[in-house]
Copies of this chain bind each other. A is one copy, B any other.
Amino acid sequence: MATIFDVAKIAHVSKSTVSRVINGDPRVKPETKRAVEDAIAQLQYSPSYFAKGIRTGQTKTIAFLVPEYTNMFYGEMFNGVEDTAVREGYMVMVCNTGNAISEKEYINELLKRNIDGIIYNTYGVKPAMMRYLKQISEEIPIIFMDEVIGKKENVSCVYTDGYLSTMQGVHFLKKTGCKKIGYIRNMDSIQATESRFEGFKDGLKECGLPYLPQFVYQCPAEQNTDYMKAGIQAGTYFASLKGERPDALMTAIDLLAIGCVTALCNTGIHVPEDISVIGYDNISLGELTCPALTTIAQPTREMGKIAAEMLIDQIRKGAKEKTKKIFEGEIIVRQTTRQIGRRGRM
């Protein structure tokens, strides 16, 4: 590996001058600049990130933290993050905080490697963790991809308004003629989706529809978060209901909805004729199931893109101001809901 010194030697200048042309210092005579550039090209020289980092404190590397990577949702988001990061000369470390080591240990490892910033996805943070994160965010910028945190705290964040979207979902169901709408809540270990449930309740109010506690199912916490299975359990619960059943169900996330639809169909309940179901997130699986899932979409990739842009901007400016970007969800109508104006089967 060639060093700055080798370049200097070949170009017949000093190390300082080489350093200057690398860093775009304007006060270098064009011809010496050319000479240096030739030497760099000739040696295929590229500065060591270590030596550079030791002086500047920057690594041109950011971290993308997710609670669970098998969830395709984060895969999509990552694409947005990575695409713009790479374009800006940043590499991204992906950190699955649900794996071998704890979130805090993970962040410490990251800090040791002097990453320049963090894009933080979570299912929920404890107060102690939140304090820790805010402390870190004094050192390096953090973008929170979380509605609950984003609303409550003075932090930079980007998220989709689950409260509003779910509320709109209720309105939509009402238009298709549903009157007894139930909800499948996420496991209570996962706070990030709770504002959706809030939106559900307030949507009911807005529509003048009753809130029926027996039609709200909360998934039990499990060691391995298998949402499909949880959804199936939820569907089994609703199928087992004696007497009245809901005529529609909203869910915290798509997999819950898909699992639920599966269970419902297996017990002879027709979707959407007997019960409409709406998911949340618009994972690609939803368009392949049968019937295809009506859902609320987040602009996942775009969110990743914006988050990366915000982060890199803050890194460059060294700015301490917090910025927020809130997206709106979009209802994707497919086959698990009835069409507006039509009646279900009698």
Residues of chain A touching chain B, judged by Cβ–Cβ distance below 8 Å, are 46-51, 53-54, 59-61, 64, 69-70, 72, 75-76, 78-79, 82-84, 86-87, 89, 91-96, 99-101, 106, 108-114, 228, 258, 262, 284-285, 288-290
Indicate if the CB atoms of B112 and A49 lie closer than 8 Å.
Answer: yes
- Complex A-B: 18 CB contacts under 8 Å: A48-B114, A49-B113, A50-B51, A51-B54, A54-B54, A59-B113, A69-B82, A70-B75, A70-B284, A82-B100, A83-B96, A86-B99, A86-B106, A91-B110, A92-B93, A94-B94, A228-B288, A285-B288
Nearest-neighbor residue (CB-CB) of A139 within chain B: B1
- Given the interface contacts A72-B70, A93-B94, A288-B228, does A112 sit within 8 Å of B79 by beta carbon? no
Whether A112 touches B47, Cβ cut-off 8 Å, given contacts A82-B99, A87-B101, A93-B61, is yes
Bound-state CA distance A69–B87 (Å) is 17
Asked whether A70 lies within 8 Å of B61 as measured between CB atoms, the reply is no
In angstroms, Cα B45 to Cα A160, docked, is 39
The chain B residue sitting closest to A101, CB to CB, is B86
Taking the nearest CB of chain B, how far is it from the CB of A344, in angstroms? Answer: 22
The smallest beta-carbon distance between A117 and chain B, in angstroms, is: 15
Chain B residues whose CB sits within 8 angstroms of the CB of A100 once the complex forms: 82-84, 86-87
**Taking each of A46, A50, A95, A110, which has the highest tally of chain B beta carbons within 10 Å of its own beta carbon?**
A50
Bound-state Cα–Cα, A23 to B219, Å: 47
Partner of A91, one of B46, B86, B93: B93
Instruction: Report the minimum CB–CB distance from A165 to chain B (whole Å).
Output: 23
B113 to A61, Cβ gap below 8 A?
A: yes
- Contacts of A112 on B, CB cut-off 8 Å? 46-49
Find chain B residues with CB under 8 A from A106 CB. Answer: 86
Q: Are A94 and B82 in contact (CB under 8 A)?
A: yes
Chain B residues, Cβ within 8 Å of A48: 54, 112, 114
Residues of B within 8 A of A61 (CB): 93, 113
Residues of B within 8 A of A70 (CB): 72, 75-76, 79, 284
Q: Specify which chain B residues have a CB less than 8 angstroms from the CB of A50 in the assembled complex.
A: 50-51, 53-54, 114
B49 near A114 with CB under 8 A, answer: yes
Query: In the bound complex, do residue B258 and residue A288 qualify as a contact, i.e. CB atoms below 8 Å apart?
Result: yes
Of all chain B residues, the one with the shortest Cβ separation from A290 is: B290
